[in-house]
Structure 1
């Protein structure tokens, strides 16, 4: 302990400038060793708390962590994860995909278009990305490949569409941002509604453009039109998902229930759906619960570590220091926002979005407010930026999720190359949202 106290004197003598360099260098070195982000942030927070302030600063870490984990809104996170886990183990997504033939059946590239529609509905049911990409990879990708779609277009549609869960409410990304930035999650959901559909619209527009300008990209639509008797069974696959989405989002937007209460209603709705479809079993529920425990445990530990580190760094004066650096780059608020987007984009290549939100938002949000921008708008902008991070190499999670269920001949490199046009569309959507903030804060 004496050695650590001696180290503490040396650390404080560095000053905030060199102390910041040492802190981030230590973070990078530890992450390169393969240690989980949660353990790295906790360890660095502990070292700097003792090394900068002495042992008496340790209780400050625990108080910071308690304020994070005790938030009532955070209860909605395991609820929405459980919804996704149950969906993943039921046939709802497969029937929903078949039902969407009613939307894209008469279009060239119709199966790709209906994949995007299914992705939007699944995102509105759970807000979880990984499971959605795997589901679409199992249901939509084989059908597109069998029908003769361009392989890169099919791969890109599945990954980009499956990542819409970051934008379409009830997005877990928006919930974590709301907790971190102290912003109403309900307002974030309302603000993200139009931008989320705008992004889906860009995907659909790109699919139709490619399909109609290059006949080799997608097969022509079927000649025969399905009869009403053939359409009726397909409509049944829409009823339960649309009902769940309407109840969850309708209760939030209508002011009937809070986000946390609506998440519980959503879980109940999905369980009732599986019962009506005769797919429910206690083993399925237990399996979904164990998956939820693992996922939420990961989010919790990253949150605990990041909260502790940000709390210690704030006491060191680091947040004021970083804020002055960012605001000193330019007198133009737009340039500062663009710089933040670049920082988030680079971090998204290497870190999990939960860690990025909890590490950067305590610094960025006060700057955004001081520039006169709406933190709700910035939250939607952050969520859209994080969607870009799901696709970008070298650690784009969407590509790895899809690779886990693709045929062996589809390489990870081909998946990343297939995502380039959709990454460009996402960057375009970010630019549109920056130029026209009223799209979110209408």
Structure 2
């Protein structure tokens, strides 16, 4: 009963607009205060739990990857790539939409910041797509979906936090996520090609007077910087030369060097990137502190043991457990960010995963794909808010909601593929 009250109080506070970190922390304090079996003395353990997190070397990668992403965004390297790749695919039906998917994947592999990717692609690409006759629904759907690829394609902040919470190798998670990421990108591109073939009027080819040879050269030039970063960051991890934290430091330094080489580096860029990194990182770790307080009271109430007993003894079917878990995480994704879900829900599930003998790497990838899907789901998908905020009156909310539905379906299909073919996550992992 205490566990139900805990979640109910947290939900009410969230609906009242209280920031997530404070909502979960306040609900923990409230329940500990009213339950004499727990008491406020339980928070005497909280500093030790927080200190344990502070000593987690893996989580140091979070601010470093965030810094790398903001520098790339502000240095115009990503913007130049988007424009040149758009011209490269423009002569093909649906080419602009395919270009956005490709650029979304490259940005995901070099930055991993969803909000920045969605806003940048909206500001640059949406007016161009609408001006050339693209359907607003397709345009908004493909931008929102491509911007969220940073949730699953490494170096993903989601995977770093999942690895730290589930105590599994982040490097292995990065390797395991490559195939699922490519599956999702492939499904998007196939859908766009088929749709453009059936309805060419909603995704027309774009003619240009520029020589195509020059367009190809410009596109290749624009790929140099992100390719260098991808090789430095992911290549060093996959080859075993560096840990994710060490490669994040390399990536952050590499992004600064590239900005200098491209003559876009200045102190304003560094100040903006540093301040935004501090803000984002502070948000992540404030949520972590609130989540630690929440889980402390939750476990002290005995609710965690009851849930473990329910799944392992009363149901005793791992497939039902996976199905229920995926559904709950999908629904939670409507209301709370991946950080809160990872810090609060996942620790509750870990003992059950261990009891059933479920592959933690496979389970972590299912969660990551599921969280990516929730980023798109109306009416609360975070990518939808980013896109609508950047687009303003250029796109109607109804068109945005309808436009993302096909991409949500394809992400669910990708999730089902991983569920029924678990070996796919081990192809890249040796």
In which range does the TM-score fall when normalised by the shorter chain?
over 0.9
Q: Which residue of 2 aligns with 1:79?
A: 64
**Unaligned 5+ runs, structure 1:** 1-17
Residue in 2 aligned with 1:364?
A: 349
Structure 1 position 147 matched with structure 2 position 132:
yes
1:356-376 deviation line (CA, Å, top 9, x unaligned): 111111121222232222111
Secondary structure of residue in 2 paired with 1:280: coil
| TM-score, normalising length: structure 2 | 0.94
- Superposed, 1:134-283 pairs within 5 Å as 134-220=119-205, 222=207, 226-283=211-268
In 2, Cα distance between equivalents of 1:151 and 1:55: 53
Q: Structure 2: how far apart are the matches of 1:238 and 1:313? A: 48
Instruction: For residue 107 of structure 1, report the CA deviation from its aligned partner.
Output: 2.4
Deviates more, 1:218-227 or 1:30-39: 218-227
The answer to whether the aligner puts 1:353 opposite 2:338 as a matched pair is yes
Residue 94, structure 1, aligned to residue 82, structure 2: no
Equivalent residues in 2 for 1:321-400 (5 A)?
321-327=306-312, 330-400=315-385
Q: CA deviation at 1:315?
A: 2.6
Q: Is the CA contact 1:153–1:418 (under 8 Å) kept in the aligned structure 2?
A: yes
Q: Which residue of 2 aligns with 1:111?
A: 96
- Please give the secondary structure, in 2, of the residue aligned with 1:216: helix
Query: Is 1:34 the counterpart of 2:29 in the alignment?
Result: no
| 1:302 corresponding residue in structure 2 | 287
Once residues 189 and 269 of structure 1 are traced to their aligned partners in structure 2, the CA distance between those partners, rounded to angstroms, is 20
SS at match of 1:423: helix
* Preserved contact between residue 329 and residue 336 of structure 1 (Cα < 8 Å): no
Instruction: Tell me which moved more, 210-219 or 221-230.
Output: 221-230
Query: Which residue of 2 is the match for residue 436 of structure 1?
Result: 421
Distance between the aligned counterparts of 2:290 and 2:203, measured in 1?
47
Residue 43 in structure 1 maps to residue 26 in structure 2: yes
Question: What do residues 221-242 of structure 1 show as CA deviations (whole Å, max 9, x unaligned)?
Answer: 5487934345323321111111
- Which residue number in structure 2 is paired with residue 121 of structure 1? 106
Is 1:104–1:114's contact at 8 Å kept on the other side of the alignment?
Answer: yes
Secondary structure of the residue that 2:201 maps to in structure 1? coil
Paired with 1:330 and 1:393, the residues of 2 have a C-alpha distance of 32
**Bigger mean CA deviation after superposition, 149-158 or 26-35:** 26-35
Q: Is the 8 A contact 2:79 2:124 kept in 1?
A: yes
Moved over 6 A (4+): none
- Contact 2:370/2:415 (<8 A) preserved: yes
Q: Which of 78-87 and 43-52 deviates more?
A: 43-52
After TM superposition, the structure 1 = structure 2 runs for residues 418-437 of structure 1, keeping only pairs within 5 Å, are 418-437=403-422
Counterparts of 1:297 and 1:412, CA distance in 2: 31
Q: Please state whether the residue corresponding to 1:384 is helix, strand or coil.
A: helix
Residue aligned with 2:426, SS:
coil
More displaced stretch, 20-29 vs 177-186 = 20-29
Query: Do structure 1's residue 313 and structure 2's residue 298 form an aligned pair?
Result: yes
State the distance in 2 between where 1:27 and 1:360 align. Answer: 13
Number of equivalent positions: 425
Instruction: Give the distance between the partners of 2:286 and 2:364, measured in 1 at CA.
Output: 22
2:277 aligned residue (289, 292, 296) = 292
Q: Given the superposition, is the C-alpha separation of residues 56 and 171 from structure 1 closer, same or farther in structure 2, using an over 3 Å criterion?
A: same
Cα distance per residue 1:283-305 (max 9 Å; x no partner): 11101111111111111101111
Q: Is the 8 A contact 1:68 1:304 kept in 2?
A: no
Which moved further from structure 2: 218-227 or 277-286?
Answer: 218-227
Match of 2:118 in 1: 133
* Cα distance between partner residues in 1 of 2:21 and 2:196: 44
C-alpha distance in structure 2 between counterparts of 1:401 and 1:30, whole Å: 23
CA contact (8 A) 1:174 1:185 kept: yes
Could you tell me how far 1:307 is from its partner in structure 2?
1.6
RMSD: 1.8
Q: Is the Cα contact below 8 Å between 2:127 and 2:394 reproduced in 1?
A: no
Structure 2 unaligned blocks of 5 or more: none
The alpha-carbon deviation at position 272 of structure 1 amounts to 1.0
SS at structure 2 position matched to 1:322? helix
Greater relative contact order (Cα < 8 A, sep 6+): 2
Q: CA deviation at 1:104?
A: 2.5
